[in-house]
Chain A
Amino acid sequence: MGKMQSAIAVRQLTKKYDEGATGTLALRGVDLDVHPGELLLLMGPSGSGKTTLLSIMGCILTATSGSVRVAGREVVGLSEKQLPALRLENIGFVFQGFNLFPTLSAGENVELMLDLKGISKARAKKRAQELLDQVGLGEKYDSFPADLSGGQKQRVAIARALAGDPGIILADEPTAALDSHTGRTVMEMMSELAHKRGRAVVIVTHDSRVLSYGDRIITIEDGAISDKNEADVIPPSLLSHQLVHAVPGLA
């Protein structure tokens, strides 16, 4: 079987924040591949650098040195004007605090993403309805975030992240603000996105309840991946997933 094309490929990544007299080294020589159809969990203590890594993989933060390829394109060195287009095209975000627009309805929150992609209002409305249906909130199109539960808000956020049809979903503590039942629902949704719809899903989490959903778990400590071997491994579940899709008869 040939080498898989990574959705995200990180090589010798370092990030230094210019704080204090000497600066702070947040990431030091990180190597990591994230593959399509994989759900990767990034774990580690607070301040270990996992959110910095997620931000750089999400083209929100620029690296100090190293290489980051997103959907096959080198990100390091791109200007701040080029990065938004890359994010819009390839990455969907899910945030811990949902980050929905409180003055827009659930449907309009999803429409906003489609508007950014240049989709006409009528098509965006139809597509937003489909996406809300997919996350089980079809009847909540006109509801405002203030009228939704935490789990419903996160599902709207997932629908919004999917609206741009990105190959990569990056989530920052998506279950932190949710109870265990709602957290499970959200993780099942994330798992489905990876395993059934072929997205590369990266989740930063402290929540031990979600461990069973990860194909791989990467732990970051002091700006480096603590177990180097883990970072390069293609998980067996993913290999079998790829195999099933490669050999039609098996499916």
Chain B
Amino acid sequence: MPPLARRNLFHDKVRLTVTLTGIVFSVVLIVVQLGLFLGFTTATSNLIDHSNADLWVTSKNVPYVEQGVPFSERKLNQVRAVPGVGDAQKLISRWTQWKRHDGGQDSVQIVGINVDDPMERPWNVVEGNVAALKFPDAVILDELYKQKLGVTSVGEVFEIGGHRARVVGFTRGIRSFTTSPYVFTTFKNAQDFANIPEDQTMFILVKLAPGANLEQVRHELLEHVKDVEVRTTSEFSRMTTFYWMFTTGAGVAVLIAAVLGLVVGFVVVAQTIYATTVDHIREFGTLKAMGAPNSYVYKVIMNQAAISAVIGYTLGMIVSVFVVHGSQKGGAAILMPPSMAAGMFFLTLLMCVGAALVSINKVTRIDPAMVFKG
């Protein structure tokens, strides 16, 4: 086929620019909003997803990880006694106050762990090491929050919940969905920082013994340990994400913005391709008069849409990569996994081809006899 679609598209540079701007805007908006959604989703369940545990034991009616309620530490032994439990450790996750050098205070989320256990250790440690948490009053936090918490380097001393705390390391990329950064410390320190009685814990993390059946162990735990709930890690992760993304409405707002991006892109592309089609309507009439079946004309319009999609997607992704890269140092990470980038291509193609259907409807109704009119 002679390059009619490409020539028609590139013939009017202004219109092409408007079309591509619409697609690029749409691609970037969708990537940013979906990326934010993914980033938020990941942040909400960061602690749970990186816990390396199989089951979470919580108090009754704990809907998400930040809403944990302290319960007796003695349940740890009951949990360990259940067949199929390979390892069980206490965990504290609770909001408390961080006092900066300038006297100002910020809310932080204390995460109290057993440093010697592989479950729920801080990950991506870029300065210091996890073992340093064994030093008295030691804490590790993410470098993203240095400025917020007034921290400049390892070794600095602050006050958490009225107790002395010393920074012994930094992680990278452990974001909190809330405005309260995670601060990792030992279980004992966490009890002090978060003002939790000595015989209380907030969660018990369970690692199954090799070969143990997850559902069976869960059932046994519920039977032998009273007044607790037992969630699988994925279940608790989903519950926490669902709470933050949908119960609070935060995720819905982001998703709506992504859909808006799609709608805006669709309308702009549909409008410009339609205008291009109307501009060339006499040519399409001539094509039909010459004997071209409707399918041939559709192919020309679809080619126009596909070319627009490929160029718009490429430009949009270039912009998106810069935006995503820039967000890595900010409080809200925009994530763009390869699957999302690939999915965006098909979404862009679908958007452009869908938009072209409006024009196809117009072309279908062309009367080829128009070629004899003036």
Contacts and interface: CB of A to CB of B under 8 A. Distances in A.
Q: Is B one of A's binding partners?
A: yes
B289 interface: yes
Given A55-B372, A101-B4, A60 B289 contact: yes
Given A81-B293, A112-B1, 12 more contacts: A55-B372, A61-B369, A84-B288, A84-B292, A87-B289, A91-B291, A93-B289, A103-B8, A104-B4, A116-B290, A116-B292, A172-B372
Contact of A104 (B7, B289, B293): B7
A175 B374 CA distance: 14
16 contacts: A60-B368, A60-B371, A85-B293, A93-B289, A93-B290, A95-B286, A97-B374, A99-B286, A99-B371, A102-B283, A104-B3, A104-B7, A111-B2, A115-B1, A160-B290, A172-B372
A38 interface: no
Contacts of A113: 290
A85 B291 CA distance: 6
Interface string B287-311: 1111111001000000000000000
Contacts of A93: 289-290, 371
A51 interface: yes
B291 A95 contact: no
A50 to B, nearest CB: 10
Contact of B291 (A51, A84, A97, A104): A84
Nearest to A172: B372
A115 B7 CA distance: 16
A110 to B, nearest CB: 9
Given A103-B11, A104-B7, A116-B296, A87 B371 contact: no
Interface string A156-200: 000010001000000010000000000000000000000000000
B291 A87 contact: yes
B164 interface: no
Contacts of B372: 51, 54-55, 60, 95, 172
B282 interface: yes
The 6 closest A-B pairs by CB, nearest first: A88-B291, A103-B7, A87-B291, A108-B2, A99-B286, A103-B11
A84 B293 contact: yes
A239 to B, nearest CB: 31
Interface in A60-103: 60-61, 81, 84-89, 91, 93, 95, 97, 99, 101-103
A89 B291 contact: yes
Nearest to A56: B369
A147 to B, nearest CB: 15
Interface residues of B, number: 23
A128 B289 CA distance: 20
A86 B7 CA distance: 28
A55 B369 contact: yes
A54 B374 CA distance: 14
Contacts of B3: 104, 108
Interface in B7-41: 7-8, 11
Instruction: Identify which of A60, A86, A109, A164 gathers the most chain B CB atoms within 10 Å of its CB.
Output: A60
Contacts of A172: 372
B291 A164 contact: yes
Contacts of B289: 58, 60, 87, 93
Contacts of B7: 101, 103-104
A98 to B, nearest CB: 10
A11 B4 CA distance: 39
A103 B291 CA distance: 20
A52 B368 CA distance: 12
A238 B368 CA distance: 32
Given A103-B11, A104-B7, A108-B2, A95 B292 contact: no
A43 B292 CA distance: 29
Contacts of A88: 290-292
Contacts of B283: 99, 101-102
A137 to B, nearest CB: 17
A115 B2 contact: yes
A10 B317 CA distance: 61
Contacts of B293: 81, 84-85
A84 B3 CA distance: 22
A160 B283 CA distance: 14
A9 to B, nearest CB: 21
A59 to B, nearest CB: 9
A54 B368 CA distance: 13
Nearest to B288: A84
Contacts of B374: 97
Nearest to B292: A116
Contacts of B369: 55, 60-61
Contacts of A54: 372
Interface string B119-162: 00000000000000000000000000000000000000000000
A160 B371 CA distance: 15
